[in-house]
Amino acid sequence: MNNSGKTGHQILVVDDESAVCKAFKLLLEFDGHTVQTAESGEAALGVFEAGRFDLVITDYSMCGMKGDELAALIKARRPGQPIIMATAFAADFSFPSKPPAAVDWVLNKPFSLIELREAIVKVMS
């Protein structure tokens, strides 16, 4: 159970820095979520196809496939899939201007656990 009293979500975290994947995993598992990680967009597509995820959280700036490209490929497969993109370049995507079409929320790095929780609540409701 997470802090809201609901069972956790199945979450796929994608970031090309393993330390960031581990940090996301720790934070999300602390809140009762089940987390799988991938360290590239290409690897994430394989993990995504093999599983069922309530939420995908992806970095934007990765070697090879960028986060917005990954999001577009995932939405093409599952149009209703909630996707959060975490980036140090959030000013390029943030509200009130529109995030990339396939992304439901842009989370500015660095972020707090509270901001992460708020983003999850917004895209999952």
Query: What is the average pLDDT across 48-66?
Result: 95
pLDDT digits (tens, 9 = 90+) for 66-96: 999 999 999 999 999 999 999 887 666 655 4
Query: What integer pLDDT is reported at residue 36 of this predicted model?
Result: 97
Vertex 11, ends 9 and 17: CA angle to 5°? 150
Query: What is the average pLDDT across 105-124?
Result: 92
- May I ask the CATH class of domain 10-124? alpha beta
Dist. CA 68–CA 51, nearest whole Å: 20
Q: Which of 57, 45, 44, 34 is nearest to 104 (CA)?
A: 57
12 burial level (CB within 10 Å; 0-12, 13-18, 19+): buried
Query: What is the average pLDDT across 34-61?
Result: 96
Query: What integer pLDDT is reported at residue 89 of this predicted model?
Result: 73
Phi-psi region of 32 (alpha: psi -120 to 50; beta: other; left: phi over 0): left
Confidence of residue 59 (pLDDT cuts 50, 70, 90): very high
pLDDT at 35 over 90: yes
Helix (H) or strand (E) holding 58: strand 55-59
Residue for token pair 């599983």: 51
Q: What is the pTM of this model?
A: 0.89
Helix 67-77, helix 41-50: angle, nearest 10: 20
Q: Which of 49, 123, 52 is nearest to 82 (CA)?
A: 123
- Domain positions in the chain are 10-124
